[in-house]
Structure 1
Amino acid sequence: MIESKTITFKKIKEKLSIKKPWDSIIILALNILIAIPVFIILHQNLIDPEWPFHIDRILIFIALIVVIQVILRLLKTVIIICIFFYLIALIYGTLFGGYGFKAVFEDYQAMIYTMSADPNPQDIIISKLLPFPNKSEIIDAVEYDNPKVRNFALSATTKFFKEVKGYHEQRKMIQCFAVFKAIRDKWNYVNDPKGREYIAYASESLQHFSGDCDDHAILMSACIRAIGGTPRIIHTGGHLYPEMLVGNKADLEMANYLIKEVLFIDESKGKEIHYHIDERGQIWLNLDYTARYPGGPFMSEEILGALTFN
């Protein structure tokens, strides 16, 4: 009885085994297929020591390849089963909106692009932040629930970037970029009345798309929040400008790729992406009217206050 089971097991093992040299070729291909998504996950979640030439990431990838290669060699007699379950997992993710083939490809593109063209971080030192000037008036002016503001924001999302396919997880980000473009393309800078700080409501600025920096920041913040984004206004002393919450490092990588390779190719060509990192590690992208693309250069590096609209 035991001998019969042993013979049966050997037959099954032989059927599942792959002959040389195909076993080495398939193991190498499977190694790469497994290593890429695993490396992306590690890359997005491990602290970046900012070594030159991303040597830390290169070493992690090499170590990952070696470990996976050893494991696959040990399991080569059942490699067909490994391939089957791996493909089933990716196919399931692709069909039902999980982590599938397309998600792996998009994340890999964004990661590689950002590693080869670093954005330009600017850290906020929270201890230096001062009380925000005209805070109550600005909060009232950011009337994101005003129907006119909401309708304009909606029209922007249908006018710009609607034809961009894929990137379902970044839909809100892309729509916020559409709002930026709609306002940026129309904005006309006009000074306040002499000797007076005039704070225009968002719905008021929609009439002529004109005003000074605080009027632009108010309108941009209201429209971003009207479609589900999280904006904030930065105070630098003589200037106010809006920023939008991007998220974590992985979200920044995707934003960087979308801006420079999909949405604002000409405007951002050869330029860096500028952002701030708050005390919780969240990343905020510059949306100033002086920038031709989201994440354009800051007009002023000094930060005296921040007003967030959650």
Structure 2
Amino acid sequence: MEEKEAEQAEFEEGSWKKPLKAILALALVIILIITLVPYYSIKVNPEPEKIPALYEVIPLNLEVQGTKFQINNTYDMRLLVDPDDGRIKYTANRIVTRACENSDGNRLCYAKAIYYFMRDKFNYVADPLGVEFVEPPIEALASGGGDCESGSIVMASLMEAVGIDAQLVFVHGHAYVRIWVEEAPKRYKNDNWIYLDWTCDECGFGEIPWENWVKEQWAVEVP
């Protein structure tokens, strides 16, 4: 009799221990998911922590000559992209280090930081009607604004300065940039390139206005 009671007690003890173990295992899995998924999603698709103002990133006492070029051939605009200018490199480094302080050098975070900086901190200023002036990128940065071509030259220069391959893209009457970041999620890409239009206030990273998709476009590799 006592032996049967002992067996019954052991059975009852085992019957509640099994679901308890399952519950504990499930709780552990949930904790791991909550902990690891945000970590890896940040690594794969990081966002800049903050976008610095223009005055925070350009060199102090920056002197410019007020140089402007009148260029009618879009292909020649590539020659103004200048990531090797020490002042451009300084500005690019300041943008990404302030915006992506905890990204461990993530290039996607760098690309987003530069795009948001251009979109939100660099002013669009149109050229006189019928005249196309383009200035060197450091001069455009010093003035704080420029037209679509000037800003695209600035953005391409900043991207190249931090090791991101950039090209100038032209459609009739407009210019923007595309960049190559292989590790970026596919949702940002079109034909493996990420298209960026800094003049579009409502465009997120990897978005350009729909009307530009339906126009004939051509891309120009920068030196």
Q: Same fold (TM over 0.5)?
A: yes
Cα pair 1:180 1:220 within 8 Å, conserved: yes
Partner of 2:104: 168
Measured after TM superposition, the shift of residue 222 of structure 1 is: 0.4
Partner of 1:290: 200
Q: Deviations over 1:22-74 (max 9, x none)?
A: 4534565677789x7xxxxxxxxxxxxxxxxxxxxxxxxxxxxxxxxxxxxxx
Cα 1:30–1:233 shift into 2, 3 Å: same
Whole-Å separation in 2 of the counterparts to 1:31 and 1:183 = 42
Cα pair 2:197 2:208 within 8 Å, conserved: no
Cα 1:251–1:284 shift into 2, 3 Å: same
> Does residue 241 of the first structure (1) align with residue 176 of the second (2)?
yes
Q: Deviations over 1:221-255 (max 9, x none)?
A: 0011111222222211221111333435x6356xx
1:206 counterpart SS class: helix
Cα pair 1:153 1:179 within 8 Å, conserved: yes
Cα 1:138–1:180 shift into 2, 3 Å: same
> Does residue 204 of the first structure (1) align with residue 139 of the second (2)?
yes
Cα 1:33–1:207 shift into 2, 3 Å: closer
Partner of 1:305: 218
Equivalent residue letter for 1:289:
T
Cα pair 1:234 1:305 within 8 Å, conserved: yes
Partner of 1:251: 185
2:185 counterpart SS class: helix
- Equivalenced residues, count: 175
Partner of 2:13: none
TM-align CA RMSD: 3.5
> Does residue 106 of the first structure (1) align with residue 26 of the second (2)?
no
Whole-Å separation in 2 of the counterparts to 1:31 and 1:149 = 48
- TM-score, scaled to structure 2: 0.61
Point out 4+ residue stretches in structure 1 off by more than 4 angstroms: 26-34, 108-111
Q: Deviations over 1:250-300 (max 9, x none)?
A: 6356xxxxxxxxxxxxxxxxxxxxx5411xxx2414242223543344262
Equivalent residue letter for 1:251:
P
> Does residue 186 of the first structure (1) align with residue 98 of the second (2)?
no
Equivalent residue letter for 2:96:
T
Cα pair 2:78 2:221 within 8 Å, conserved: no
Equivalent residue letter for 2:201:
A
Partner of 2:12: none
Q: How does 1:110-121 map to 2 (within 5 A)?
A: none
- TM-score, scaled to structure 1: 0.46
Cα 1:308–1:251 shift into 2, 3 Å: farther
Whole-Å separation in 1 of the counterparts to 2:206 and 2:111 = 13
Cα 1:108–1:214 shift into 2, 3 Å: closer
Cα pair 2:176 2:197 within 8 Å, conserved: yes
Cα 1:276–1:140 shift into 2, 3 Å: same
Where in structure 1 are there 5+ consecutive unaligned residues?
1-18, 37-100, 112-132, 254-274
Cα pair 1:286 1:296 within 8 Å, conserved: yes
Which has the larger helix fraction?
1
